[in-house]
Amino acid sequence: MHAVRRLIVVTGFVAGVLGPVAVRAETVQPTAGDAPAAQSALDAKTLYQFLLAEIAGARGQLGISVRAYLELARDTRDPRIAKRAAEIALFARDMGAATEAARLWNEIEPDSAEAQRVLTGVLMRTGARIDELEAHLAKALAGAGVRLPQHLLGLNGAMTRVEDKQAAREVIDRVTEPYLTQPEAYFARAHAAFNANDATGALGHLDGALAHRPDWEPAVMMKAQLLQHERPDEAIALLRAYAEAHPESHQAKLVLARSLAAAKRYEEARDAFDSVLETSPDDTDALNSSALLSMQIEDWPAAERRLHELLRASPDNGDRVRLLLGQVAAARDNDTLAEQYYRAVLSGDEQIQAQFLIARLQSGRGEYDLARQTLQAIEGDDDVLRRARVAEAQVLRDAGRYQDAYELLEDELSRSEQDPDLLYETALLAERLGRTDVMEGHLRTLLDVNPDNAHALNALGYSFADRGVRLDEAYTLIKRANELSPEDPFILDSLGWVHFRKGEHDRALELLQQAYGQRSDPEIAAHVGEVLWAMDRRDEARQVWSEASERHPDSKELQEVIGRYAQ
């Protein structure tokens, strides 16, 4: 009986690893007279092959394990062993064995979606001919039965490794031809068309899917995504209609809110995120977006409320949220609270940013030496330290110490001659000191490094325009800056100013009023007033200056302009 007992123990080991496989221990019977157990040759081989495969795999001898498992799969035709053979072969990167095992698994278990998926993946990795892939996919779809919709949706995933996306699309179009009563077939075609860079074709297939299932959310979401870039209003209308018809759809409301934000319809986007929060109050993505959009539209109470909710819902992001709360407090002129929040930021990049913001508050209060100490205490890599020196120069500039600021940046620039921030800031200070040759040299060096630096283009062009020199070149520079950054109000201001210098007052006023509508900056207000004054619309000029003075009583530039004209 010892042989029987030993075989049962080993068979139990087999069952523990793979479940009840085709190892027939029950065929082993003791003979009369309690003779040693007899076992068929096939059963002995099966058991030996399994033990060999497992022990070799455990010892890292993957080649032996793969060959043993593959032979075991051929002999037993058990789908679990064929699956195991395919897995081990893939792990060992033996693609020949993996292909054979996957084919065998599909042959043994033709209705297995997993087996079909693995074989498709193996065929992709081994560079199988596309006609072979097509035949395999067609066979899988034909035998899918009730799982046909899932198989159709998995077609593009199966074709991921096909580099020729147009060829992959043609395969998917052909294998889905018998199933065009299924919306999933159109959806598969839409994905294939999109992958082949045919957005129009993809939209047509999505309309086909929606004709068969009008309220199918995946098709609606994909259609909105495709419309977003070229026809954003249509995308938003589609999403809004779907969200209203399906108020339970969290995904639809979230995508609608994101689409509105991408279209810069910030207030509507904020309201849409708030709608998401009505049913999902702890959705951290929606809380964060609502807070940021409230900041964008300067709804400070709403921003503060959402940030506190975000802090409770996501305490692990506390430093980032406290940094934002500090910015909200600063925007509401509560510098004391802002500094409290900044000092509560304790780690990472957020802490460094908080130190910069603390220095800005200190400089704004006239505590210039303290602000410099804060900046000099910042620790970090070379990039962080350069930023700190630039910020320190800004503090010196705020204090009216332009020469000191210039010397600090020139010293830093001697160690980092190509640094764009240092070049730009040093150029501005050089101009302030009347060293326009140095200013132009630094800006041209910056533009040699980065010809598409909109701020450098604008600064150089504005310098020419403000001095009334080289106006054609000034226009060319500023126009290029405007093309690179069309919504920057300060670049719009420069463009308006160069038109004014060229005597084109109507165009100048149009651009300057557009810039002022985007940003109520005192220097832009000064320019608007000057153009109105030159157009003999002096009451309007005085009104612009008066309103700007109330909002910005400390603006030296604005007061200088008013002093020149309105006295």
CA-CA distance, 86 to 64, in Å (whole number)?
A: 14
What's the Cα-to-Cα distance from 532 to each of 337, 352, 418, 521, rounded to whole Å? Answer: 41, 44, 41, 17
CA angle 280, 286, 287 (to 5 degrees): 95
Q: Is 82 part of any domain?
A: yes
pLDDT digits (tens, 9 = 90+) for 147-205: 899 889 988 877 777 778 898 899 999 999 999 999 999 999 999 999 999 999 999 99
> In terms of Cα–Cα distance, which of 268, 263, 338, 265 is closest to 307?
338
Helix (H) or strand (E) holding 184: helix 183-195
pLDDT exceeds cutoff 60 at 23:
no
CA-CA distance, 23 to 48, in Å (whole number)?
A: 10
Q: Are 93 and 122 spatial neighbours (Cβ–Cβ below 8 Å)? A: no
Phi, psi of 30 (to 5 degrees): -70, 145
Half-sphere exposure of 373 (CA within 13 A, CB side): 5
Q: Are 424 and 458 spatial neighbours (Cβ–Cβ below 8 Å)? A: no
Residues 6+ apart with CB under 8 A from 329: 304, 335, 337, 338, 341
pLDDT exceeds cutoff 70 at 28:
no
CA-CA distance, 347 to 357, in Å (whole number)?
A: 15
pLDDT digits (tens, 9 = 90+) for 94-127: 777 777 777 788 778 876 767 777 777 676 665 5
**Which residues does residue 35 pair with via DSSP β-bridges, in sequence order?**
31
Q: Is 62 part of any domain?
A: yes
Pairing between β-strand 29-31 and β-strand 35-38 as defined by DSSP bridges: antiparallel
Predicted pLDDT of residue 198: 95
CA-CA distance, 511 to 130, in Å (whole number)?
A: 58
pLDDT digits (tens, 9 = 90+) for 496-518: 999 999 999 999 999 999 999 99
Predicted confidence band of residue 45 (pLDDT cuts 50, 70, 90):
low
Q: Is 71 part of any domain?
A: yes
Q: Is 25 part of any domain?
A: yes
Q: Which residue has the tokens 């002093």?
A: 563
How many distinct structural domains can be found in the chain?
1
pLDDT exceeds cutoff 50 at 353:
yes
Tokens of 34: 């309690």
User: Other CB atoms closer than 10 Å to residue 85's CB: what's the count?
Assistant: 28
Q: Is 73 part of any domain?
A: yes
pLDDT digits (tens, 9 = 90+) for 270-318: 999 999 999 899 899 999 999 999 999 999 999 999 999 999 999 999 9
Q: Is 37 part of any domain?
A: yes
Q: Which residue has the tokens 């913001």?
A: 357
pLDDT exceeds cutoff 50 at 22:
no
Tokens of 243: 């969200």
Predicted pLDDT of residue 406: 94
Q: Is 118 part of any domain?
A: yes
- For the chain, give the percent of residues with pLDDT over 70: 89
CA-CA distance, 464 to 330, in Å (whole number)?
A: 35
pLDDT digits (tens, 9 = 90+) for 407-428: 999 998 888 878 888 899 999 9
pLDDT exceeds cutoff 50 at 492:
yes
Predicted confidence band of residue 140 (pLDDT cuts 50, 70, 90):
confident
Predicted pLDDT of residue 423: 92
Tokens of 397: 């500039």
Q: Which three-class secondary structure string do you get for 127-180?
A: CCCHHHHHHHHHHHHHCCHHHHHHHHHCHHHHCCCCCCHHHHHHHHHHHCHHHC
Q: Are 110 and 147 spatial neighbours (Cβ–Cβ below 8 Å)? A: no
Predicted confidence band of residue 258 (pLDDT cuts 50, 70, 90):
very high
CA-CA distance, 338 to 244, in Å (whole number)?
A: 40
pLDDT exceeds cutoff 90 at 461:
yes
Predicted pLDDT of residue 259: 94
Find the farthest-apart pair of alpha carbons in the chain and give their distance in angstroms, rounded. 129
Average pLDDT over residues 61-65: 77
Per DSSP, 37 falls in state E
Residues 6+ apart with CB under 8 A from 497: 462, 465, 466, 508, 512, 527
**Which residues does residue 31 pair with via DSSP β-bridges, in sequence order?**
35
Residue 32: what residue type? A
Range of the domain at 54: 1-126
CA-CA distance, 91 to 87, in Å (whole number)?
A: 6
Q: Is 51 part of any domain?
A: yes
Predicted pLDDT of residue 108: 83
Q: What is the DSSP string of 289-332?
A: HHHHHHHHTT-HHHHHHHHHHHHHH-GGGHHHHHHHHHHHHHHT
Q: Which residue has the tokens 């003779």?
A: 35
Average pLDDT over residues 519-542: 93
CA-CA distance, 523 to 490, in Å (whole number)?
A: 9
- Supply the mean pLDDT for the chain: 86
Query: Can you give the CATH number for the domain in which 79 is found?
Result: 1.25.40.10
Specify the length of the chain in residues: 567
- For the chain, give the percent of residues with pLDDT over 90: 61
CA-CA distance, 84 to 81, in Å (whole number)?
A: 5
Phi, psi of 558 (to 5 degrees): -65, -45
Q: pTM above the 0.75 mark?
A: no
CA-CA distance, 29 to 152, in Å (whole number)?
A: 51
